[in-house]
Amino acid sequence: MDDAANLIKRQSKLTDLIKQHGLDAVALNAGPSQTYFTGLHFHLMERPAVVLLAAGKKPIAVLPDFEKAKANDLGYDMQVVTYDENPDNWAAAFADAAKQFGAAKLIGVEGLRLRVMELQYLEGAFPGAKFEQAEPLIAQLRMRKDASEVASMKKAAEIAEAALAATLPKVKVGMTEKQIASELVQQLYAQGSDPELPFQPIVGAGANSANPHATVSDRKVKSGDLLLFDWGASYNGYLSDLTRTFAVGEIEPEFKRIYEVVKLANQAGRDAAKPGAPCSAVDENARDAIEDSGYGQYFTHRTGHGLGLEPHEEPYIRAGNSLKLEPGMTFTVEPGIYLDGRGGVRIEDNVVITENGAETLTSFPRELQVIG
């Protein structure tokens, strides 16, 4: 958990920012932003868990009664209003919190997190209030990682790489994608990942490697397949997200060719990452390398996405995104070529912008390796 001083500093930055934009308060639903700014850890569940923040006011949380102890260990003063297991009483808890918090006519929320349930409770507690998207403001703060956040992400990358290194020697022709994924998950935990992984690993063999978001299946690995791994680990709640593609035995010449093109595109994208460059420049550099090879139509997604407490967050590395990269911004660079029905290649690394350029947090070899 972040120390209290850091949490208070984050809250102050957020409340100053929302005030500058005319918001009276921000309501954070259960999820990564709530954790980032308050230190509370809640998942979306059938019970609401909402925190209200505003400049000059003490934070106030509406929580289930049996969860109130979580607020006692934060290291700073937070008001807590609790409710019991009877949903008929939950609206009263929100009304009580609003009374203690004070008036708020324009409240910022995270549209991707706030559900109808919590919105209705807030509407009832703050009659006449309007609710506005605050995600762009929250993203301004969350996407600039400090040194401790970057260190956790680097450790998450090391764990992920060690897990794959331990898995690869066990991969054999005839194993199913599910069997390989199971081994990888076990190794992620054995190497020190947090219990909650960033996502379920993707293991795509043969034609399934041409599906960027394939679901592991009972397909058996065959000689001549491309075998794609998209996986990550978590450390202190911060994530890594990597992709590597391997040859199972001897593969056809075109697969070798597209592998080298993707490797070149990955390097080109990372080379374009530097302070002041627009996100679109990273995408353009990677994409140009694939376009120039004649495989442009087979690169079907953006070049990358932000990474941190969530596997996908700001900044997004895509065409048309003029957002300027700044020190502390962390994201993936993951170009790919996907030959539908045959096989695909993706090489994904994690990058952080530094004062003078960029550092690649991931180091797993990018040369084509033959396994199985």
Entry pTM: 0.95
Domain identity same for 59 and 171: no
Domain identity same for 95 and 178: no
Last residue of a domain, one of 111, 142, 173: 142
Residue 350 pLDDT = 98
Amino acid residing at 170: K
Residue 73 pLDDT = 86
Domain identity same for 210 and 247: yes
Domain count along the chain? 2
Domain identity same for 262 and 279: yes
Domain identity same for 80 and 163: no
Listed in sequence order, the residues at least 6 apart from 107 whose beta carbon sits closer than 8 Å to its beta carbon are 23, 24, 25, 26, 27, 122, 126, 129, 130, 131, 132
Q: Which residues of 205-242 are buried (b: 16+ CB within 10 A; e: fewer)?
A: bbbbbbebebebeebebeeebbbbbbbbbbbebbbbbb
Residue 372 pLDDT = 84
Backbone phi, psi, residue 330, to 5°: -125, 140
Domain identity same for 30 and 69: yes
Q: Provide the CA 227 distance to its chain's centre, in angstroms.
A: 24
Sign of CA dihedral 208, 187, 305, 284: negative
Query: Strand 50-53 to strand 25-28: parallel, antiparallel, or no bridges (unpaired)?
Result: antiparallel
Closest by CA to 204, choosing from 304, 341, 368, is 341
Divide the 372 residues of the chain into consecutive groups of 10 and give the mean pLDDT of each group: 88 97 98 97 96 97 96 93 98 98 97 96 98 96 97 98 98 98 98 97 98 96 98 98 98 98 98 98 98 98 98 98 98 98 98 98 98 90
The residue segments making up the domain with residue 169 are 147-371
Last residue of a domain, one of 142, 158, 179: 142
Write the CATH number for 328.
Answer: 3.90.230.10
